[in-house]
Amino acid sequence: MPIRRILHGLIVVAAACAGADAAGAAELKVLTAGAFKPVVAALAPVFEGQTGHTVRIENDTAGALARRIGNGEAFDVVVLTPAAMELLEQAGRVARGSSVRLARVAIGVAVKQGAPLPAIGSESDFRQALLAARAVAYIDPAAGGSSGIYLTQLFQRMGIAAQIAPKAVLVPGGLVAQRLVSGEADLALHQISEILAVPGVTLVGPIPAEVQNYTVYAGGLAATSADLPAARAFLELLAGERAKTVLKDKGMEAP
């Protein structure tokens, strides 16, 4: 058989195999609450390299994601608070029995890099730091962010809600600590994993233990995912041993 015909046959076979591989690859849409996004972003390339699938990540506040899914938005994997996940399971949007707890994260305090670090070791110190700040940035509770909802309630319990209100920089979503870099605030309160994702800021530390609130995140599968085996494999990676090192690096811990 002429060499040219042999080479042509090999090219055809190789192209067919490549086409079959491409046809078997999935593109997963992963919706994640903002605090867990750094973990998803770190593990997605690992998953893509191991499987040939691709991962498209979208993040929002937990409340906004729950509304989007409730309104019919398609997805494959979602990371939300357990309470929101349960409601979506009841509504038939998340596959029943697929939810697994992935991590928890504390609320932290941040300042712009180079700024003096306020004392926040006790509730009294934390209170004084809040009252002394020119402007305090945190997630707008109306946006459905877990930390913003909790902090609003905390300020009321601490009896300083009236003093914080006029200097509150309410962020509708995203990375609150960016308001430090822009100069809009000189103190930022947000989940630690999201503070660490912002260059140019310094994490002072977690808010005091006596007023701390941990947000737990769980992952679940879409009830109507078109690529359920791939989605399940990615969720297993998020819940597996490899994720524990990433969690620690991103300021989170196992639930």
Rounded CA separation 216/173 (Å):
18
Query: DSSP letter at 72?
Result: T
Place 2 in a pLDDT band, splitting at 50, 70 and 90. Answer: very low
Residue 118 near residue 110 (C-beta atoms within 8 A): no
CATH number for 65: 3.40.190.10
Residue 134 pLDDT greater than 50, yes or no: yes
Average pLDDT for residues 126-137, to the nearest whole number?
Answer: 98
Per residue in 240-252, pLDDT (tens digit) is 999 999 999 999 9
Q: Do 111 and 126 belong together in one domain? A: yes
Q: Do 235 and 191 belong together in one domain? A: no
* Contacting residues for 14 by C-beta, under 8 A, at least 6 apart: none
Is residue 245, in this structure, part of any structural domain at all? yes
Average pLDDT for residues 112-136, to the nearest whole number?
Answer: 98
Q: Do 97 and 51 belong together in one domain? A: yes
The strand pair at 107-112 and 77-80 is best described as unpaired
Structural domains counted in the chain: 2
Residue 24 has a pLDDT of: 74
Is residue 15, in this structure, part of any structural domain at all? yes
Q: Do 229 and 244 belong together in one domain? A: yes
Residue 57 has a pLDDT of: 98
Place 234 in a pLDDT band, splitting at 50, 70 and 90. Answer: very high
Residue 58 pLDDT greater than 60, yes or no: yes
Q: Do 53 and 112 belong together in one domain? A: no
Average pLDDT for residues 28-34, to the nearest whole number?
Answer: 95
* Contacting residues for 26 by C-beta, under 8 A, at least 6 apart: 53, 54, 76, 226, 227, 230, 231
pTM of the model: 0.80
Residue 12 pLDDT greater than 70, yes or no: no
**DSSP secondary structure, 134-198, as one string:** S-EEEE-GGGT-HHHHHHHHHHHHHT-HHHHGGGEEEESSS-TTHHHHTTS-SEEEEEHHHHTTS
Strand-pair partners of 77:
30, 221
Residue 144 has a pLDDT of: 86
Q: Do 99 and 119 belong together in one domain? A: no
- Residues, the chain: 255
Mean pLDDT score across all residues of the chain: 91
Rounded CA separation 194/188 (Å):
11
Query: DSSP letter at 204?
Result: E
Average pLDDT for residues 38-49, to the nearest whole number?
Answer: 97
Residue 124 pLDDT greater than 70, yes or no: yes
Per residue in 173-230, pLDDT (tens digit) is 889 999 999 999 999 999 999 999 999 999 999 999 999 999 999 999 999 999 999 9
Residue 145 has a pLDDT of: 87
Residue 115 near residue 182 (C-beta atoms within 8 A): no
Q: Please state, for a pLDDT cut of 90, what percent of the chain lies above it.
A: 85
Phi, psi of 160 (to 5 degrees): -120, 15
Its domain, for residue 233, covers 3-104+216-249
Residue 34 has a pLDDT of: 86
Residue 6 pLDDT greater than 50, yes or no: no
Amino acid at 156: Q
Least confident residue range of 10-14, 68-72, 117-121? 10-14
Q: Which helix (H) or strand (E) holds 86?
A: helix 82-90
**DSSP secondary structure, 7-61, as one string:** HHHHHHHHHHHHHHHHHH--EEEEEEEGGGHHHHHHHHHHHHHHHS-EEEEEEE-
